[in-house]
Structure 1
Amino acid sequence: MKKYLLLLLSAGLFFTSCKNDDDIFPDDNGDETQKTANDYPVQNFMYQVMNSFYFWQEDVPNLADSKFKSLDDPDYISFLASEEDPGRFFYYELCKNHVDAVGNASAQDRFSRAFENYKDLVNSLQGISSSNGVEFQLYLAKNDVDVYGVVTYILPNSDAFNKDITRGDIFNGVNGQTLNVSNYLDLLFSNNTSYTLNMADLSGDSIIGNGKEVALNKIENFSENPIHIKKIIEQNGKKIGYLMYNSFLAAYDDELNDVFGEFKSENIDELILDFRYNGGGRVTSAIQLASAVYGTETDKLFLRARYNDKIMSAVETSSVENYFTNETFDSKTPLNTLNLKKVYIIATDRTASASELVMNGLAPYIDVIHVGELTVGKSEFSDTFVDDPLTNYLYTGNNDGSINPDNQWGIQPLLGKNENADGFSGYEGGLVPDYELPEDISNLGVLGEIDEPLLAFTLSIISGNTAKKNFASTSSKSPFAHSKIFSATTNAMVMNGLLNR
């Protein structure tokens, strides 16, 4: 699809030249000075991309094709100059009712993102970040002011991996300061490379500090392997493959293929995919995983992409269709596939985008048994854009040297929606579980162990013993934030993301 977008841009869907004309604007000192789009490189770059690609382009008055005559239209220059903060310009002036501008209740666009440094965006999409290895969710205390965190898992080979901290542990302070709604962002998400967590215990509805401290240090350029757990569980004469997969990252596609090779060689009877913390990632990785489950039938439609009207009117139908695959996307390695008729998927309110794509894309072909909670509800996809006119602003993975040195911003706008072979994409409210069970913060269990509540529940469904056991959750509060809220892979579905290590 990327080649079609390049052709469209080359054909002139947006202004392609900048003329030094007689557009005169007074500066702060009252002197007359000539201004052009080049004087507002970030805003100009953002506008060009959004006017061409943004899914809701025709619904945003500022992006209307009739709004400005050309790059040197005085009204266009005034528009670029109207907001000094590029982030605010993007969310408030170019997006359709972005959540950052209008709040959750009125938001249409919940997922378009702008990054001051495109390298942070690119690294995040490859699973590379500055991390101490503690993944957590944040909750409001009963006074609706104080905040506490619950550890969800620890990343292998991280600083935290050998520290006295594990899944289910609770913290309520950082560096001796009690976490609250006013300071948690600064304390937990600043650029500081180290901090100390003040640990706590859950006592009824109360969070009480226990005096324990855990000092943590971030590792720069830390790579998270999304294949968190893989194992085979034997139950009632059946072999059940279990894979906890936390992000769709292209760099691990070959390793993912090897996992399915192991499952295939063991001749597993059932498969459980654990997407409970998977916020998405690259679409090609999702197609690979779905094909590994269902089969390498390259004549069967997996998804159909729907872009904005001016792109859809200029491309052939076949160019927006993606089929199941028989090989990995980058290395072209033959794909290991299980040819299953049924799959069990653990999914929660952290499950989004490419994860939901796998669930929705498989639904027309096999029985998808969804265990857990209502998912996020993101059928929209995106791609990465930088200020490089030579590639018509698309980030290719090879164009770092030609990106405007005066503008290092990167944006990840929503470009369209993906629908499955039945034409369904309307799950903005989330995918509804067949068997509902939220995580219980008072009893999280050990991931991958057969008594971990969500896995145990899924195994009971497979065995038919669900009614014989009590899987009620006693403390299932919904988190308001988590450790990956600023990650580009959170709720991401990168359509062609040519990102690979």
Structure 2
Amino acid sequence: MKKYLLLLLAFGLTFTSCSKSDDVDSENPEPEIPVVKSVADYPVQDFMWQAMNAFYFWQEDVADLDDTKNDIEADYAEFLSTDADPADFFYKICYNHERVVGESAAVDRFSFLSENYKDLVQRFQGVSKSDGVEFGLGRYGDAREVFGYVRYIVPGSDADGKDIQRGDIFIGVNGTNLTLDNYVELLFGDLDTYTMNFATLANNTITASGRELSLTKEEGFSENPILITKVIEEGGIKIGYLMYNSFVAAFDEQLNDAFGELKTAGVTELILDFRYNGGGRVSSALQIASSVYGTKTNELFLKARYNNKIQSTFDPGDGESNFVATTIDGSPINALDLTKVYVITTRSTASASELVINGLEPYVDVVQIGTTTVGKNEFSVTFVDDRANNFFYDEDREANINPDNQWAIQPLLGRNENADGFSDYTGGLVPDNELDEDIANLGVLGESSDPLLALTLNVISGTTSKSSFVPIFPVDLISSSAVMKGTNDMMLMDGLIKSNMNQK
């Protein structure tokens, strides 16, 4: 009837003459039936709200996460429908998220999400689509132009063995220069094979060189985060050096083996190179800390602080983790039992890396060399639409995840305090000996030609001379290959929270 009536109305507008019955129908159109919104129509938004209401660190500070928000189903359904895009909905219910209010006003800088939980889980295991070129990005020229510099090449990758190495500078992709407006699309877009356009740096000026190189990203590429393990002998001192680029649980046994090599070699000093380490698993951080300080299982490494709703359910000792004597797989920890450790940091050092530094501080003299860290003192957990498991992701329960909702969210759940109760380092951990990486002189990782390592060795030997370590071309970092993988600045909590709480 409604369709027929609309045809009559259209006909009446076309001709000046119309019947009396037409006039009556046009004056009294058939009323539209209101669309009744249902919570079931918005499963993704409902899952996000339920998980955030229960576990989000700042739940009490977000009006949209108030416990009464879903008391009236019709009003709750209307609220869920306000954002058709689940990503927009998620960032709206975060507490002053950086993507909503901007960097300067942000409280939540690190919560994020993925449209497919499987992609997220793989990245947390060190698996991603990669050509093996790990790089940083900075600005030059008119400040909207972007250049990249190669930090290192991942062994076994497409780039490994090609004409590209640490210190190389590039300014374009497929003949198009990188800018603030296009670098994400050009470097992290859909193209699996692309051509990198290189440049040279001379007299603090970056200039196109004409050199090109074709690279191909490999799907499902796995990177071992243990890049370098070696013993350096300096002035009769045996110094262990470990460059570790991500806290990935899948490599924990190899990590323990690396400490075993250093222990067998009889090192008395240790350098942890976390300069490019944006974080990862807390369990891996706990393992490293125990390898440094010792398997003192009666001493506190961290205390996790959650929102009041969760904290109120805890018994004394819940949320606390002591140093450990074994890996997750049960292997005895190879501990060096040190009273001092040297840690190299930059503005790419974050989260679990900072946790190791902060957690060791009450027990070990931690000497930090480099630049101030990111300042991510919060941790997170992966949530998926598995309501029977209180939304916690469990690889053994993937069959229970809602097949119509594959989204995953990674919201901030709390902060980790060290044994002294300290967790206030949102501004970053400040180095004892400051030195920026020098794009004009990056040197070779693990060798004394690397200025950051050279300075660290000088600190150890007591021959520090600041005048000899002045960077020529420090970079104002705007992003990196690690950031765009979606797992940088991550502190992933493992099993420290009660997952048997009832959901509203």
Determine if the TM-score, normalized by the shorter chain, exceeds 0.5: yes
* Whole-angstrom CA distance in 2 between matches of 1:445 and 1:425: 34
Displacement, 1:269? 1.2
Deviations 1:108-136 (A, max 9, x none): 00000111111111111111000000011
* Whole-angstrom CA distance in 2 between matches of 1:317 and 1:376: 31
Moved over 4 A (4+): none
Displacement, 1:267? 1.0
Q: Please state whether the residue corresponding to 1:485 is helix, strand or coil.
A: helix
Deviations 1:385-404 (A, max 9, x none): 11111212110111222211
What's 2:63 paired with? 61
Q: Which runs of 5+ in 2 are unaligned?
A: 1-30, 497-504
Q: Please state whether the residue corresponding to 1:317 is helix, strand or coil.
A: coil
Displacement, 1:468? 7.7
Letter in 2 for 1:106: A
What's 2:255 paired with? 256
Letter in 2 for 1:52: A
- Aligned partners of 2:139 and 2:476 also within 8 Å: no
With 164-173 and 33-42 compared, the bigger mean Cα shift is at 33-42
* Whole-angstrom CA distance in 2 between matches of 1:343 and 1:49: 39
Aligned residues: percent identity?
56
* Whole-angstrom CA distance in 2 between matches of 1:472 and 1:487: 32
Matches within 5 A, 1:70-469: 73-92=73-92, 94-329=93-328, 331-467=329-465
Matches within 5 A, 1:10-25: none
Displacement, 1:67? 2.8
Displacement, 1:350? 0.4
* Whole-angstrom CA distance in 2 between matches of 1:30 and 1:466: 80
What's 1:14 paired with? none
What's 2:19 paired with? none
Letter in 2 for 1:288: Q
With 199-208 and 437-446 compared, the bigger mean Cα shift is at 199-208
* Whole-angstrom CA distance in 1 between matches of 2:109 and 2:162: 36
Q: Please state whether the residue corresponding to 1:381 is helix, strand or coil.
A: strand
- Aligned partners of 1:282 and 1:497 also within 8 Å: no
With 255-264 and 400-409 compared, the bigger mean Cα shift is at 400-409
* Whole-angstrom CA distance in 1 between matches of 2:323 and 2:466: 39
* Whole-angstrom CA distance in 2 between matches of 1:345 and 1:170: 27
* Whole-angstrom CA distance in 1 between matches of 2:338 and 2:482: 32
Letter in 2 for 1:422: D
Displacement, 1:203? 2.4
- Aligned partners of 2:37 and 2:78 also within 8 Å: no
Q: Does 1:44 align with 2:46?
A: yes
Letter in 2 for 1:321: E
* Whole-angstrom CA distance in 2 between matches of 1:80 and 1:126: 32
Q: Please state whether the residue corresponding to 1:159 is helix, strand or coil.
A: coil
Letter in 1 for 2:140: A
Q: Please state whether the residue corresponding to 2:77 is helix, strand or coil.
A: helix
* Whole-angstrom CA distance in 2 between matches of 1:468 and 1:388: 55
* Whole-angstrom CA distance in 1 between matches of 2:261 and 2:149: 33
User: What TM-score comes out, normalization by structure 2 length?
Assistant: 0.91
- Aligned partners of 1:125 and 1:488 also within 8 Å: no
Displacement, 1:497? 7.0
- Aligned partners of 2:136 and 2:149 also within 8 Å: yes
Deviations 1:255-299 (A, max 9, x none): 000011111111101000000000000001100000000000000
Q: Which runs of 5+ in 1 are unaligned?
A: 1-28
Q: Please state whether the residue corresponding to 2:240 is helix, strand or coil.
A: strand
With 187-196 and 364-373 compared, the bigger mean Cα shift is at 187-196
Letter in 1 for 2:228: I
Count of aligned pairs between the two proteins: 466
Displacement, 1:144? 1.3
- Aligned partners of 1:257 and 1:335 also within 8 Å: yes
* Whole-angstrom CA distance in 1 between matches of 2:349 and 2:101: 24
What's 1:475 paired with? 473
- Aligned partners of 1:305 and 1:418 also within 8 Å: yes
Letter in 2 for 1:57: Q
User: What TM-score comes out, normalization by structure 1 length?
Assistant: 0.91
Letter in 2 for 1:401: A
- For the pair shown, which has the larger CA radius of gyration, 1 or 2? 2
Displacement, 1:162? 1.4
Letter in 2 for 1:433: P
Q: Please state whether the residue corresponding to 1:220 is helix, strand or coil.
A: strand
Q: Please state whether the residue corresponding to 1:167 is helix, strand or coil.
A: coil
- Aligned partners of 1:55 and 1:415 also within 8 Å: yes
* Whole-angstrom CA distance in 2 between matches of 1:150 and 1:467: 27
- Aligned partners of 1:364 and 1:420 also within 8 Å: yes
Letter in 1 for 2:351: S
* Whole-angstrom CA distance in 2 between matches of 1:77 and 1:136: 45
Aligned CA distance change for structure 1 residues 81 and 462 (closer, same or farther; 3 Å) = same
Aligned CA distance change for structure 1 residues 185 and 255 (closer, same or farther; 3 Å) = same
Displacement, 1:30? 4.8
- Aligned partners of 1:142 and 1:205 also within 8 Å: no
For the aligned residue pairs, the C-alpha RMSD in angstroms reads 1.3
* Whole-angstrom CA distance in 2 between matches of 1:44 and 1:419: 32
Deviations 1:230-263 (A, max 9, x none): 1000111111000000000000000000011111
